[in-house]
Amino acid sequence: MPYQQHRNTLLALAQNSIRYGLRKGCPLAVDLNELPEALIERRATFVTLQKMGRLRGCIGTLMAQRPLAEDVAYNGWSAAFRDPRFHPVDEDELEQLDISISILSTPEPMLFDSEADLLEQIRPGEDGLILEAAGRRGTFLPSVWESLPDKRDFLAHLKLKAKLPAHFWSDEIRVFRYTAECIK
C-alpha cells in the first residue's frame, strides 16, 4: 500500500478543500512544490463522504488526469458540493463527515463471452468495475462489495446504476476492472 504513508496529508487535502469551498466556492489550489513525489504522480481518485454511516457524496475520476494531490482536493470539493444526488455540504455538517479516498489503478478491459463467464472472472472485494453498454456507463468502487457481496447482485446493481435493466445483456457490453487503495 504505497499511499498509506501519506494518509494524513491526503485526508487533510480533501478536508481542507471542503473547508475552502465553504468560504470561496471553489476547490483548494494545491502547491505541488511542497509535496513528496508520490503525491505528484498522475492518479485517478474518488472521494467518498459519509455522515453517520450514510453516503453523503462521492465523486471521482476513472482515468488519471492530474497529479494525485490535485485530484484529491478537486474530488473532495466536488463530493461535498457537486454530487447531484445531494444538496451541498454546509458548515454545520463539516465535523460530522467521514472522508475516504480511493486511489484507482488503471482500468483494464475484461474479455468474456457470456454473462456467466464475466461473473466467473469477477473478484469480490477486490474489483471495481466499469460497465458500458447502449451508450450508458456506470462504475462501482471495490468498496461497494461491502454492501453488495454477491457477484450477481453487484453486477445487477451496476447495470441499474448505468440506467440499464438489472437483467440486461448484450454482446456489446464492455466491462473494465480496476483495483483501489482505500485511505480512511
Where are the chain's structural domains? 4-104, 108-179
Residue type, 178: Y
**pLDDT over 80 (residue 101):** yes
How far is it, in rounded angstroms, from Cα 118 to Cα 37?
A: 37
pLDDT reported for residue 2: 83
70 contacts: CB under 8 Å, gap ≥ 6: 30, 32
Mean pLDDT calculated for residue range 140-159: 97
Would the pLDDT of 80 be above 90?
yes
Rounded distance between C-alpha atoms, residue 145 and residue 157, angstroms: 11
pLDDT class for 143, splitting at 50, 70, 90? very high
User: Looking at residue 31, what is its pLDDT?
Assistant: 95
Superfamily of domain 108-179: Hypothetical protein ph0010; domain 2 (3.30.1490.150)
Average pLDDT, the chain: 97
Q: With a cut of 70, say whether residue 1 has pLDDT above it.
A: no
Mean pLDDT of 20-34: 96
CA distance linking residue 160 with residue 137, whole number of Å: 10
% of the chain beyond a pLDDT of 90: 98
Q: Which residues in 20-54 are b (16+ Cβ under 10 Å) and which e?
A: bbbeeeebbebeeeebeeebbeebbbbbbbbeeee
Tell me: pLDDT of 39 over 60: yes
> What fold characterizes domain 4-104?
Glycoprotein, Type 4 Pilin (3.30.700)
pLDDT digits 0-9 by tens, 7-16: 999 999 999 9
Fold match between domain 4-104 and domain 108-179: no
